[in-house]
Chain A
Amino acid sequence: MGHEAQETDATAAVDFKEVQSTERFQQLRKRHRSFVFPMAIAFLLWYFAYVLLADYAVEFMSTKVWGNINVGLIMGLLQFVTTFAITGWYVSYSNRKLDPIAAEIRHEIEGHEFDKNGNQISGVKK
Chain B
Amino acid sequence: MTFMVPAVNVADLKETTLLNMGIFALFVAVTMVIVIKASRNNKTAADYYAAGRSFTGPQNGTAIAGDYLSAASFLGITGAIAINGYDGFMYSIGFLVAWLVALLLVAELLRNTGKFTMADVLSFRLKQRPVRIAAAISTLAVCFFYLLAQMAGAGSLISLLLGISDWGGQALVIIVVGALMIMYVLIGGMKGTTWVQIIKAMLLIAGAAVMTFWVLAIYGFNLSDLLGGAVETSGNPNMLNPGLQYGKTETSKLDFMSLGLALVLGTAALPHVLMRFYTVPTAKEARKSVVWSIGLIGLFYVFTLVLGYGAAALVGADTIKAAPGGVNSAAPLLAFHLGGPLLLGFISAVAFATILAVVAGLTITAAASFAHDIYASVIAKGKADPETEVKVARKTVIVIGILAIAGGIFANGQNVAFLVALAFAVAASANLPTIVYSLYWRKFTTQGALWSMYGGLGSAIILIALSPVVSGAKTSMIPGANFAIFPLSNPGIVSIPLAFLLGWLGSILDKKLEDTTKQAEMEVRSLTGVGAEKATDH
Give the Cβ gap from B288 to chain A, nearest Cβ, in Å: 8
Residue of A nearest to B259 (CB): A51
Q: Is the CB of A55 within 8 A of B257?
A: yes
Contact at A70–B527, with CB atoms within 8 Å? no
| A1/B529 contact (C-beta < 8 A), A73-B240, A83-B99 known | no
What separation, in Å, do the CA atoms of A39 and B100 have in the docked complex? 9
Q: For A11, what are the chain B residues with a Cβ–Cβ distance below 8 Å? A: 525, 530-531
**Complex alpha-carbon distance, A16 and B45, angstroms:** 27
Which of B90, B224, B253, B528 has a CB less than 8 Å from the CB of A109? B528
Partner of A79, one of B96, B225, B525: B96
Write out the residue numbers on chain B whose beta carbons fall within 8 Å of the beta carbon of A103: 528, 537
The CA of A52 and the CA of B284, in the complex, are separated in Å by: 35
Compute how far the CA of A61 lies from the CA of B517 in the bound complex, rounded to whole angstroms.
52
A32: interface (CB < 8 Å):
yes
Would you give the shortest CB distance from B381 to chain A, in whole angstroms? 18
Does B386 make an interface contact (CB < 8 A)? yes
Is the Cβ of A36 less than 8 Å from the Cβ of B242?
no
Counting CB contacts under 8 A, is B171 at the interface?
no
Task: Check if B295 sits within 8 Å of A70, measured CB to CB.
Answer: no
Which B residues are in CB contact (< 8 Å) with A58?
Answer: 241-243, 247
Q: Which residues of A21-68 have CB atoms within 8 Å of chain B's CB atoms? A: 25, 28-29, 32-33, 36, 39-40, 43-44, 47-48, 50-52, 54-56, 58, 61-62, 66-68
Interface residues on B, range: 35 or more
Q: How far is the CB of A14 from chain B (nearest CB, A)?
A: 8
Whole-angstrom distance between the Cβ of A68 and the nearest chain B Cβ: 4
Given the interface pairs A16-B520, A16-B521, the reply to whether A83 lies near B224 with Cβ below 8 Å is no
CA distance A48 to B262 in the complex (A): 12
The reply on A121 being an interface residue by CB < 8 A is no
Closest to B534 in A: A3
Q: Does B44 contact A (CB under 8 A)?
A: yes
Contact A29 B242 (CB under 8 A): no
Q: For residue B295, which residues in chain A have a CB less than 8 angstroms away from its CB?
A: 84
Chain A nearest CB, measured from B473 CB (Å): 21
Q: Which among A44, A80, A87, A110 is the interface contact of B103 at CB below 8 angstroms? A: A87
* Candidate in A3, A33, A36, A106 with the most chain B CB atoms within 10 angstroms: A106
Chain B min CB distance to A107 (Å)? 6
The residue in A8, A73, A90, A105 that gathers the most chain B C-beta atoms within 10 A of its C-beta is A73
Q: Are A40 and B104 in contact (CB under 8 A)?
A: yes
Please measure, in the bound complex, the distance between the C-alpha atom of A68 and the C-alpha atom of B291, giving whole angstroms.
32
Q: A16-B521, A16-B524, A29-B527 are in contact. Are A1 and B225 (CB under 8 A)?
A: no
A29 to B442, CA, bound (A): 13
Question: CB distance B256 to A54 under 8 Å?
Answer: yes
Say whether B535 faces chain A, with CB atoms less than 8 Å apart: yes
Instruction: Decide yes or no whether B444 CB sits under 8 A from chain A.
Output: no
B134 at the A interface (CB under 8 A):
no
For B208-239 the 0/1 string (1 means CB < 8 A from A) is 00000000000000111101100100000010
> How far apart sit A32 and B260, CA to CA, in the bound complex (Å)?
27
B248-275 toward A: CB 8 Å interface, digit per residue (1/0)?
Answer: 0000010011001000100000000000
- The residues of A that contact B238 with a CB separation of less than 8 Å are 62
A51 touches B90 (CB 8 A): yes
Give the residues from 65 to 114 in chain A that come closer than 8 angstroms, CB to CB, to chain B: 66-70, 72-73, 76-77, 79-80, 83-84, 86-87, 90-91, 94, 99, 102-103, 105-107, 109-110
- B298 contacts A by Cβ under 8 Å: yes
Q: How far is the CB of B436 from the nearest CB of chain A, in Å?
A: 10
Asked whether, in the complex, the Cβ of A68 is within 8 Å of the Cβ of B260, the reply is no
**B101 beta carbon closer than 8 Å to chain A:** yes
Q: How far is the CB of A38 from chain B (nearest CB, A)?
A: 10
Contact B100 A20 (CB under 8 A): no
Of A52, A68, A73, A109, the residue contacting B530 (CB under 8 A) is A109
Instruction: Determine which of A54, A86, A105 lies in contact with B242 in the assembled complex, contact meaning CB atoms within 8 Å.
Output: A54
B173 contacts A by Cβ under 8 Å: no
- Beta-carbon nearest neighbor of A68 in chain B: B227
Partner of A62, one of B44, B242, B290, B440: B242
Q: Does A17 have its Cβ within 8 Å of any Cβ on chain B? A: yes
Residues of chain A at the chain B interface (Cβ within 8 Å): 1, 3-4, 6-8, 10-11, 14, 16-17, 19-20, 25, 28-29, 32-33, 36, 39-40, 43-44, 47-48, 50-52, 54-56, 58, 61-62, 66-70, 72-73, 76-77, 79-80, 83-84, 86-87, 90-91, 94, 99, 102-103, 105-107, 109-110
23 contacts between A and B (CB under 8 A): A4-B44, A7-B531, A19-B524, A20-B523, A43-B97, A47-B94, A48-B260, A54-B90, A62-B238, A67-B227, A68-B228, A68-B240, A72-B86, A76-B93, A79-B97, A80-B301, A83-B294, A83-B298, A84-B295, A87-B99, A90-B103, A106-B529, A109-B524
